[in-house]
């Protein structure tokens, strides 16, 4: 991502949530009442049209299905941890994520949104406009994952290593260096109470290497000069459990496209496509 440019991919995900939220309750995978207000109106009109018209599906069959299933799965993980007594939440690479506002959190629970300064600045303007002020329980932490460590930024912002914490890392790892990914995972392991966990999605290495072809990956590479966001990191399919265990995590649970389809693509969504090449994993401390 360019230094002073907010994330276009984050805006695109928010607009996909806008369109998904317009569907009936028995069809939509998620409902986000804030997404429309977090991104520019012109973007909602233009990008939303491409999704509603079916053109986005033609360009990248199943991509929108995966993105919305990913949102829903991570929502479900968060809800399960809240039921189990979660004490602290960190959203890494938050973009225009609205989970800090969509869920019913304990009043005193600490929530941290960590993101690139350019995107976070734009989001803060929107948040203040929506709510009239910054919610007292949310702390916004600017960081560039490729050049800064979480230790530099998160600990000084009031993060408590002694609390049971869930760290959500959605749509980020594929844009980082391997060193940045390892640095973040090391921070989680060394600065989280037992019972804490991280959930993140990742790209299969075969897509990154070009062994497995996928139109959306090709499009992202084609528009890299415009977005400033290049694909750099992937994990070989079927190896994420050993990848995380080698870094000290336990109770690793890996979810693939077939699992997402079985869980969420039923009823009216039974014929909805979902693209392959991605995984979502939960690793516990």
User: pLDDT tens for residues 183-201?
Assistant: 999 999 999 999 999 999 9
Q: How confident is the model at residue 146 (pLDDT cuts 50, 70, 90)?
A: confident
Q: Look at residue 1 and tell me whether its pLDDT is greater than 70.
A: no
Query: How much is the mean pLDDT over the chain?
Result: 90
| Tally of residues, the chain | 285
- Going by C-alpha positions, the residue among 152, 188, 182, 183 that lies closest to residue 168 is 188
Instruction: Give the pLDDT of residue 220.
Output: 52
Cα-based distances in Å from 162 to 29, 92, 109, 219, 239: 34, 19, 13, 43, 30
CB 14 within 8 A of CB 38: yes
Let me know if domain 8-284 sits in CATH 3.40.50.150: yes
pLDDT tens digits along 111-128: 999 998 989 999 999 999
- Domain extent listing, the chain: 8-284
Mean pLDDT of 140-154: 85
**What would the two tokens of residue 70 be?**
């990913």
Instruction: Give the pLDDT of residue 44.
Output: 94
Instruction: Give the pLDDT of residue 214.
Output: 62
pTM summary value: 0.91
CB 240 within 8 A of CB 247: no
pLDDT tens digits along 42-72: 999 999 999 999 999 998 899 999 999 999 9
Instruction: Give the pLDDT of residue 6.
Output: 53
pLDDT tens digits along 220-252: 544 454 444 578 899 999 999 999 999 999 999
Instruction: Give the pLDDT of residue 148.
Output: 82
């Amino acid at each position: 991502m360019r230094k002073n440019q907010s994330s276009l991919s984050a805006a695109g995900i928010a607009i996909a949530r806008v369109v998904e939220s317009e569907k009936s309750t028995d069809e939509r995978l998620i409902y986000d009442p804030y997404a429309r207000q977090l991104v520019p109106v012109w973007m909602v009109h233009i990008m939303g049209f491409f999704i509603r018209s079916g053109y986005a599906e033609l360009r990248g069959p199943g991509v929108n299905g995966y993105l919305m299933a990913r949102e829903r799965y991570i929502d479900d993980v968060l809800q399960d941890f809240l039921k189990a007594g979660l004490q602290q939440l960190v959203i890494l690479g938050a973009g225009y994520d609205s989970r800090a506002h969509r869920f019913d959190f304990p009043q005193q629970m600490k929530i941290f949104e960590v993101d690139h300064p350019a995107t976070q600045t734009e989001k803060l303007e929107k948040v203040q406009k929506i709510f009239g002020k910054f919610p007292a329980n949310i702390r916004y932490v600017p960081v560039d994952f490729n050049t800064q460590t979480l230790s530099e930024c998160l600990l000084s912002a009031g993060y408590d290593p002694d609390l049971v914490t869930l760290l959500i890392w959605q749509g980020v790892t594929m844009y980082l260096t391997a060193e940045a990914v390892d640095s973040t995972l090391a921070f989680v392991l060394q600065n989280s109470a037992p019972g804490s966990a991280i959930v993140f999605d990742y790209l299969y290495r075969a897509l990154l290497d070009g062994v497995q072809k996928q139109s959306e990956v090709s499009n992202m590479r084609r528009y890299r000069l415009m977005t400033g966001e290049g694909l750099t990191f992937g994990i070989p399919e079927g190896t994420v459990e050993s990848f995380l265990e080698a870094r000290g995590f336990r109770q690793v649970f890996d979810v693939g496209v077939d699992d997402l389809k079985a869980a969420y693509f039923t009823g009216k969504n039974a014929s909805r496509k979902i693209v392959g090449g991605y995984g979502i994993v939960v690793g516990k401390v």
